């Protein structure tokens, strides 16, 4: 794969949209901000409470939370409303991950390195990895994929491969990752550099020590 220039979401270009519990928008060549977490990274009661609060918030603004296109409707709200949403839910969700719930097995260098090596393995071939951080119970990354469909397929591959290797290392069989990842098509250069700084500073924000995380950034 030839080196890819920075490319952001183009609302006038083709987009592949698929749905599970979350909608996933894919656009060839664009930068994605992706987060996936361990199965036990958030307590079930916290997830349930946040979902209830999000449903109430959306309904109060005339958006049906069970509509597969609710994120499209959210995008049409005013800038102030969108900022209020992300402050109440997206940013809060990331803050909860940083509190360190669950086993936090990726705090162990031998296990976090399995994830880091997997993220780097096809870099420059299937995707271009811009930056990532492997935290004790979750992963954030910024990457570009040359084709539609490549992002979701690669996320599933990363999680399947690393879960198998980590379970083998721990001599157990269990669901390691939460089934669905969070992915966001980066909208602008300003947003990209904001997210780049977020990834770089995540371990500091979570007050981690050296060896409790793995940070990578393309030079």
Is pTM beyond 0.85 here?
yes
- Taking the C-alpha atoms of residue 115 and residue 66, their distance in angstroms, rounded to an integer, is 34
**pLDDT (mean) for 37-64:** 92
72: nearest Cα among 154, 15, 7: 15
Residue 2's pLDDT is 57
Residues 14 and 107 in one domain: yes
Residues 36 and 53 in one domain: no
Residue 18's pLDDT is 63
Residues 28 and 113 in one domain: yes
- Taking the C-alpha atoms of residue 67 and residue 70, their distance in angstroms, rounded to an integer, is 5
**pLDDT (mean) for 206-210:** 95
Residues 116 and 185 in one domain: yes
Strand order in the sheet with 182-185: 182-185, 31-37, 138-144, 128-134, 214-217
Residues 63 and 14 in one domain: no
Residue 15's pLDDT is 64
- 10-14, 29-33, 186-190: range with lowest mean pLDDT: 10-14
Q: How many CB atoms lie within 10 A of CB 10?
A: 13
Q: Cα separations (Å) of 112 from 72, 104, 149? A: 35, 10, 26
126: enclosing H helix or E strand: none
Residues 218 and 188 in one domain: yes
Residue 14's pLDDT is 64
Determine the structural domain holding residue 89 and report its residue range.
42-99
Residues 35 and 64 in one domain: no
Tokens representing 183 are 């992915």
Are the C-beta atoms of 128 and 4 separated by less than 8 Å?
yes
Residues 58 and 156 in one domain: no
140: nearest Cα among 104, 86, 98, 83: 98
- 9-13, 49-53, 171-175: range with lowest mean pLDDT: 9-13
- 42-46, 143-147, 169-173, 210-214: range with lowest mean pLDDT: 42-46
The structural domain count of the chain equals 2
Residue 23 has pLDDT above 70, yes or no: no
Residues 86 and 192 in one domain: no
């Amino acid at each position: 794969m030839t080196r890819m220039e920075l490319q952001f979401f183009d609302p006038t270009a083709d987009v592949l949209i698929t749905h599970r519990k979350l909608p996933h928008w894919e656009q060839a060549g664009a930068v994605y901000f992706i987060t996936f977490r361990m199965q036990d990274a958030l307590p079930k009661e916290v997830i349930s409470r946040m979902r209830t609060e999000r449903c109430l918030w959306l309904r109060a603004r005339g958006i049906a939370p069970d509509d597969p296109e609710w994120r499209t409707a959210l995008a049409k709200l005013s800038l102030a409303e969108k900022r209020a949403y992300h402050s109440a839910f997206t940013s809060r969700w990331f803050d909860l991950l940083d509190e360190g719930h669950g086993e936090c097995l990726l705090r162990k260098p031998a296990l976090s390195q399995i994830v880091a090596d997997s993220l780097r393995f096809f870099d420059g071939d299937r995707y271009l990895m811009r930056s990532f951080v492997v935290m004790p119970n979750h992963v954030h990354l910024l990457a570009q994929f040359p084709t539609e469909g490549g992002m979701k397929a690669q996320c599933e591959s990363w999680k399947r491969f690393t879960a198998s290797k980590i379970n083998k290392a721990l001599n157990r069989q269990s669901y390691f990752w939460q089934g669905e990842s969070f992915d966001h098509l980066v909208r602008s250069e300003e947003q990209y550099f904001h997210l780049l700084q977020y990834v770089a500073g995540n371990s500091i924000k979570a007050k981690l020590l050296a060896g409790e995380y793995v940070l990578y950034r393309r030079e």
